[in-house]
Structure 1
Amino acid sequence: MTALLYTAGVVAFVVAILASIGLHEFGHLVPAKKFGCKVPQWFIGFGPTVWSKQIGDTEYGVKAIPLGGYVKIVGMLPPGAEGLVEETTYDEDGEPVHKVRRSNTGMFTQLISDARAAEWEYVKQHDTDRLFYRLPWWKKVVVMAGGPMVNIAIAFGLFVILFATYGNPRDEVVEPTVAAVPECVIPVAEQRTTCTADDPESPAAKAGIEPGDEIVSFNGTPYTDWQSLQAQIRDNADGDAVIEVRRDGELLTLETSTTVTLRQTSLEDQTLTEVGFLGVQPASHLQTGGPLYTAKQMESMTAETVQALVHLPVKVYEVGRAVVGLQERDPEGPVSIVGGGRFAGEAAASDAFPLTDKLVTLLFLVASFNFFIGMFNFVPLLPLDGGHIAGALYEGLKRGVARLRGRPDPGHVDVARLLPVAYVVGLAMLVMGVVLIVADLVVPLHIS
């Protein structure tokens, strides 16, 4: 049963991500067709075709390697100036085909002209008005932004559902109510939860604090939030402690003395420090909220994701070092779709997760991956969508400036000139993807 649940979790996650990729490509396809572009292919996956169906002038299908997807929009690259010659030939049915004859100059020029020629293989004589590069700049932005915006919309929709019902794991609200009172003080170095005869009684137990008590003040200072109270307790060392609590509507004043013990400095810093200790565990709940709350949370997620993208090459390098055993893998580091599938499988198979939490974990994973995919595609570098968006915005700016100055229209921005950059970025993405997949197989992270 465990293996079956694990497999079900992995399959559910992979199917959800592939569906998200397909919807991403529809985010390009729908506006491209709306603006009159020719879109001959829409596929999920790469490699050999497993299944396809022709609908109109578009072939929809699935390929064997489920590591992405693509939509082919004809005319992304305009004819350039590398000695290319537009010419008309005829296919086997006698239909005219508009082509570009390649030049044969330098290496980079040849790469660009080869790419242009491949682009024009799909162009027939009557398609010349359906080419992407001929669209106004703002329509290009709409087409290219449509894909990543679909992913962000999926993430937003899932987060709204989760935050409104289950709550936000990133936003825990600690209450003044006592959830538990340990009977004794257990040394932090000893990984146990059961008291022994040698363990001293906890100060809170001595004072008579009980679960359900609402903390009102500590040494005369009113309770404002758990972090402030915890800081007061830690600073109190082994001094006297007067705690005012509300129990069943009645105010009680309880007295004890805090004790000094080793504890972690914080959740982020696991350094052990001698601090004052009382021995109360606060009750908490996850913050809930609707669309406005979700939008605010995604605003902070955006800032964090941008920072993560800036540091992604370094993080992947560290993952590579972990693969060869030079360092431990960062549990907060990046993972591939393989790692995400492993998380989903472990959550599904775990006895510690009730059914609701298993479903919530899957939805959070899918939402998080969609948000990252959307943000990643906005990076303004070819071959990512953001590279085409940047080119279209630059085109709009150039034409606007020329119009204001009364100068001739400078024409379309030729993104093909950046293809050498696109090849480098594409190779870097391939290498990073392979490193993460290998790491998720060799030194995998596990769901906590």
Structure 2
Amino acid sequence: MAYVFGVVLFALGICVSVALHEAGHMVTAKAFGMKVRRYFVGFGPKVFSFRRGETEYGLKWIPLGGFCDIAGMTALDEVTPDEAPRAMWRFKTWKRTVVMAAGSVTHFILGFVVLYLMAATMGLPNLTAEPAISTVYDCVRDAQTDEEFANPVCRPGDPAPAKSAGIQPGDEIVSINGQHTETYADVTTLVQPLSGPVAVEVERDGQVVPLTVDVVQVERPVQDPADPNGPDKIVSVGSLGLTFANMIPYNAATALGGAAGFTGDMFVQTWQRLMEFPERIPAVVSSIFGGERDPNTPVSVVGASRIGGEAVEQGLWSLFLLLLASLNFFVGVFNLLPLLPLDGGHIAVVWYERVRDWVRKLRGKGAGGPVDYSKLSAVTVVLVLIGGAVTLLTVTADIVNPIRLQ
């Protein structure tokens, strides 16, 4: 039941995102005085509708999209005589740009809100692997005497390097023996060969605090590079007696900055994923015919909903929310690509007309006519067919060979 609830909840989140995307177009269009004929959530047969003022609002049976019908989105759209003065194409370029970009901006706002709620309640994933400390152990022990390496029931005389030095949960290690540490991997690499007093600097409440930690050598199992399939071998490594945070905690105030920084990181990752998108399609095709499904391959709404269901089933609410935020950022960025029929394609056409008319004015000529969208129809059809094929592939892969949480 938890899985089904998660799938339904994630699908509902997608529907709300789509509805708000179209609402972004509608609200900005109405604010500028454009006429909005219809605002519908979903596609297919109509479930119900009602009219308020000049706009018809409604719901359709297939909740996988929606639309906002603005009169005169292009100069080629038919408008009635009473609509003509308020046709969208008559408005200034910047106003039309705002209206067409409002859908993506809504996704960005939704993604930020989800991240802020995560930060304020459960923290944000430590994507940059910063060496923030989550736990300081009471002692550290060898692998042979303690399978967990840090037994909560410590024996008299067991060393407690980090605790004895005054390191606290929430501290961030910034240097080891004067060497800067950007990630917890840096800390591990520097500490493992050490033993005895070590100069450690931590950042605490915005200030750098110098400490001295008496690093101890303990025995740990590691994979033997010469025999990766064989048993681990026991080696001696330096230990601080702490663990690093997988989630960075925030309060209601600091969550704003945390969510803003995390949003920037997600924009970078989203752009990278978009650039890698074409090269990952062959792996999707391979997975349909029995190949191993690469977890980095694109997923459809079906696949994302399944992962969301598994996250809820396993109690991984942070993953559920992160996936929902990621989807909003991806859709928002993707929709701004300068390709028709995406909003970004319409924005590109509007600015092409603006720049063209500016150049014509410099040459002493009048403004040119509106772009003939019919000449772009062939390109639009090709892009729609490609988009449809990719959607079909990802949906098929998500049904026959879905990505699963381990």
Query: Common fold, TM-score beyond 0.5?
Result: yes
* CA distance in 2 between partners of 1:263 and 1:173 (Å): 27
What residue identity is the alignment partner of 2:196?
Answer: V
**The residue matched to 1:339 in structure 2 has which SS?**
helix
**CA deviation map 1:343-396 (0-9, x unaligned):** 22222222xx3xxx53x4433222221111111111110000000011111122
Residue 311 of structure 1 aligns with which residue? Answer: 276
Residue 242 of structure 1 aligns with which residue? Answer: 196
Contact 1:9–1:344 under 8 Å retained in 2: yes
* CA distance in 1 between partners of 2:265 and 2:332 (Å): 15
Gaps of 5+ in 1: 80-118, 187-192, 196-204, 265-271
Counterparts in 2 of 1:41-440, with a 5 A limit? 41-79=38-76, 119-120=77-78, 123-169=79-125, 170-175=127-132, 178-179=136-137, 181=140, 183-184=142-143, 208-210=158-160, 213=163, 221=177, 225=181, 226-232=184-190, 236=193, 241-242=195-196, 253=214, 256=217, 261-262=222-223, 277-278=237-238, 282-285=242-245, 286-287=247-248, 288=250, 289-325=254-290, 327-350=291-314, 353=315, 357-358=316-317, 360-440=318-398
Kindly state the Cα deviation for residue 312 of structure 1 after the two structures are TM-superposed: 1.4
What residue identity is the alignment partner of 2:244?
Answer: S
**The residue matched to 1:60 in structure 2 has which SS?**
strand
What residue identity is the alignment partner of 2:260?
Answer: A
Aligned pair in 2 of structure 1 residues 263, 24: CA closer, same or farther (>3 Å)? farther
Aligned pair in 2 of structure 1 residues 385, 275: CA closer, same or farther (>3 Å)? farther
What residue identity is the alignment partner of 1:419?
Answer: S
Contact 1:77–1:414 under 8 Å retained in 2: no
**The residue matched to 1:126 in structure 2 has which SS?**
coil
**CA deviation map 1:55-100 (0-9, x unaligned):** 3332222222222222222323434xxxxxxxxxxxxxxxxxxxxx
* CA distance in 1 between partners of 2:216 and 2:43 (Å): 69
Residue 105 of structure 1 aligns with which residue? Answer: none
* CA distance in 2 between partners of 1:403 and 1:276 (Å): 76
Kindly state the Cα deviation for residue 253 of structure 1 after the two structures are TM-superposed: 4.2
Kindly state the Cα deviation for residue 153 of structure 1 after the two structures are TM-superposed: 0.9
**CA deviation map 1:22-52 (0-9, x unaligned):** 1100111122233343332222222222222
Aligned pair in 2 of structure 1 residues 434, 138: CA closer, same or farther (>3 Å)? same
What residue identity is the alignment partner of 1:152?
Answer: F
Contact 1:148–1:374 under 8 Å retained in 2: yes
Aligned pair in 2 of structure 1 residues 36, 224: CA closer, same or farther (>3 Å)? closer
TM-score norm. by structure 1 comes to 0.71
Percentage identity across aligned positions?
33
Aligned pair in 2 of structure 1 residues 227, 194: CA closer, same or farther (>3 Å)? closer
Contact 1:391–1:415 under 8 Å retained in 2: no
**The residue matched to 2:96 in structure 1 has which SS?**
helix
Contact 1:182–1:280 under 8 Å retained in 2: no
Contact 2:217–2:239 under 8 Å retained in 1: no
**The residue matched to 1:408 in structure 2 has which SS?**
coil
Contact 2:217–2:236 under 8 Å retained in 1: no
TM-score norm. by structure 2 comes to 0.78
Kindly state the Cα deviation for residue 432 of structure 1 after the two structures are TM-superposed: 1.4
* CA distance in 2 between partners of 1:251 and 1:372 (Å): 45
**The residue matched to 1:125 in structure 2 has which SS?**
coil
Q: 1:443 aligns with which of 396, 401, 406?
A: 401
**The residue matched to 1:311 in structure 2 has which SS?**
helix
Contact 1:175–1:284 under 8 Å retained in 2: yes
What residue identity is the alignment partner of 2:340?
Answer: L
Q: How many residues align?
A: 368
* CA distance in 2 between partners of 1:433 and 1:173 (Å): 37
Aligned pair in 2 of structure 1 residues 47, 229: CA closer, same or farther (>3 Å)? same
Kindly state the Cα deviation for residue 144 of structure 1 after the two structures are TM-superposed: 0.4
Residue 6 of structure 1 aligns with which residue? Answer: 3
Contact 1:213–1:245 under 8 Å retained in 2: no
Superposed CA RMSD in Å reads: 3.7
Mean CA deviation greater in 131-140 or 170-179: 170-179
* CA distance in 1 between partners of 2:117 and 2:187 (Å): 33
